[in-house]
Amino acid sequence: MEPPAHLTSRRQRKIWEQQQKDNAAKRHKPHHDPFRTLERHFKAPHPSMEDVIDLHAPHDKLIAVPLAHPLTSDVFGPQITSQTAYIVKDIPGLIVIPNPFSPEAQRAMIAQCLTDFARPPNTSNHDAFFKIPETGLWPLYVAEQSGAKSIPTVPPKEKSQGAFLANSLLSPTDMLRKQRWVTLGYQYHWGTKEYDLERDIKVPSTVGEMAVDVVTAIQGIGGEGWTNSYQANDFAAEAGVINYYQIKDTLMAHVDKSELNMEAPLVSASFGLSCIYLLGGPTKETPPVALRLSSGDIIVMTGACRKAYHGVPRILEGTLPDYLGSDAFGDQLDGELLGKWMNSTRINLNIRKVFPSSTSLETP
């Protein structure tokens, strides 16, 4: 279309042309892929939970499957009451195990995720800027909460950053609140999206044991057109991530594809507050399912699901089980603070194999 005749100056005509273009762009609605659409749904206030699959309620997409081997690890508690797994219709490769942990076993895992596991040499998002003490942040937080006269602070990493950070030194409580992740085993660098294979740090033994037990239990499980044929003997827990979520925190859609071994299952456990977990397919065009994951629930991404988009658009406030609440961890200050912390926290612990397994390279 030509600019109207009354616009005579070159400048006016240019402005008019630009306006036409802008209006055309506005008319052309942006394309929201199905993953993004559902993410936005769950980020909005009071989303409908209608289509959410709760691992603890019957759903026509949840199909019970027998475990190949029962779970046996003490990590789940002295006796494991639940030995049921489910596959999820339309999501090949996804295997879920609703909470097999005893309350004590969950408390033990949570306490370790907040204390021992979150200490050097394991690194956290804070390591780029701060020199985290050997004790990790938790004892500093406890000291601060106990009303200690001199509140310990965490020093910045380098002198050059010191000047900048001196003005923004955070209290241990704030530091802990902003601790979003800790890496276990081979340390992952989110910036370069690579593992530091030089530093052979071990995944904590209880975490490794849990993952191996789960991988053994689900060997051979399958659904329509797929089977998890991954041999548990080939599995070892070589790396892990602990994600810490406060109520407003989310994790955007992504695929975990930095491991050299993309065939091995990824084992992922939830503790504390429940969440909405979206799981789709190889692109964000595959409409995801929405799962409600509660404390103790385990999901395993095998086969095709290992390469599927997933994310956490919402943490569900007020969903902490009583057995993790303020009195549950004991009446010492440390215990009280663990329960109080969990009232606004979800912890996700996920475990991966990084290297291709040596046995699978052998010719039969």
For the bound state, the minimum distance from the C-beta of residue 218 to ligand AKG, rounded and expressed in Å, comes to: 18
- Examine residue 310 and tell whether it contacts ligand AKG (CB under 6 A): yes
For the bound state, the minimum distance from the C-beta of residue 133 to ligand AKG, rounded and expressed in Å, comes to: 25
For the bound state, the minimum distance from the C-beta of residue 268 to ligand AKG, rounded and expressed in Å, comes to: 6
Residues 248-277 that bind Fe ion (CB under 5 A): 256
Three-class SS of the chain: CCCCCCCCCHHHHHHHHHHHHHHHHHHCCCCCCHHHHHHHHHHCCCCCCCCCEECCCCCCCEEEEECCCCCCCHHHCCCCCCCEEEEECCCCCEEEECCCCCHHHHHHHHHHHHCHHHCCCCEEHHHHCECCCCCCCHHHHHHHHCCCCCCCCCCECCHHHHHHHHCCCCCHHHHHHCCCEEEEECEEECCCCEEECCCCCCCCHHHHHHHHHHHHHCCCCEECCEECCCCHHHCCCCEEEEEEEECCCCEEEECCCCCCCCCCCEEEEEEECEEEEEECCCCCCCCCEEEEECCCCEEEECHHHHHCCEEEEEEECCCCCHHHCCCCCCCCHHHHHHHHHHCCEEEEEEEECCCCCCHHHCCC
Nearest residue (CB) to ligand AKG, 73 versus 350: 350
Residues 269-298 that bind ligand AKG (CB under 6 A): 277
- Examine residue 268 and tell whether it contacts ligand AKG (CB under 6 A): yes
- Examine residue 312 and tell whether it contacts ligand AKG (CB under 6 A): yes
For the bound state, the minimum distance from the C-beta of residue 304 to ligand AKG, rounded and expressed in Å, comes to: 16
Residues 117-146 that bind ligand AKG (CB under 6 A): none
| Nearest residue to Fe ion, by Cβ distance, number only | 256
Nearest residue (CB) to ligand AKG, 38 versus 140: 38
Nearest residue (CB) to ligand AKG, 97 versus 140: 97
- Examine residue 350 and tell whether it contacts ligand AKG (CB under 6 A): yes
List 39, 213, 256, 259, residue binding ligand AKG (CB under 6 A): 256
Nearest residue (CB) to ligand AKG, 59 versus 180: 180
List contacts with ligand AKG (CB under 6 A): 241, 243, 251, 256, 268, 277, 310, 312, 348, 350
- Interacting residues toward Fe ion by CB under 5 A: 256
